[in-house]
Amino acid sequence: MNKTCILTFIFLLCASSLAFSQTVDVSERVMYQLDLYYELNEYLDGVFREFSQGYLEPDPALKKIHVITHQYNKAVNPVPQETEKLHELTKQLLSRVENYFIQYKNNFREDPELNRKIMETRYQLSKEAERLQYTYGY
């Protein structure tokens, strides 16, 4: 259910991004990128919650991460210059989450260093999102 809602929202955002024109205000493009980031963050929280509660195995979790990464990459383009750092950190987070599930699948345990890196990236993302909110009045 949650996956369907998130994917539907991302598809709608992707479709709306095609309608953007040159006259769209910078703050609207920044808000769009922030909305994508927040939806992605909620989706990742859901995947980790399902995984930690035992409802999701590493392989299906990895497939969900691949799908959301693909959808994010489709929806985010073009990336405004103002949100370049947010975009790069989001790509880094998705890569680290993917590595988390690959590592877990191979070793059947978590890697504390990888967990630290994921949390560090999430912290940097939240700081960047907060900065953009403050700067562009989201």
Residues in the chain: 138
Confidence of residue 2 (pLDDT cuts 50, 70, 90): low
In whole angstroms, give the CA distance from residue 111 to residue 53: 18
Instruction: Tell which wins on pLDDT, 6 or 113.
Output: 113
Note the pLDDT tens digit of each residue in 36-45.
Answer: 999 999 999 9
Task: Decide: 103 and 114 in contact? Cβ < 8 Å.
Answer: yes
pTM over 0.85: no
27-136 CATH choice from 1.10.3470, 3.40.50, 1.20.120, 2.60.40: 1.20.120
Note the pLDDT tens digit of each residue in 67-83.
Answer: 999 999 999 988 999 99
- Rg (C-alpha) for the chain, rounded Å, is 16
Q: Which amino acid is at 97?
A: V
In whole angstroms, give the CA distance from residue 119 to residue 131: 18
Cα 21 to chain centroid, rounded: 24
Helix axes 84-107, 112-136, angle to 10 degrees: 160
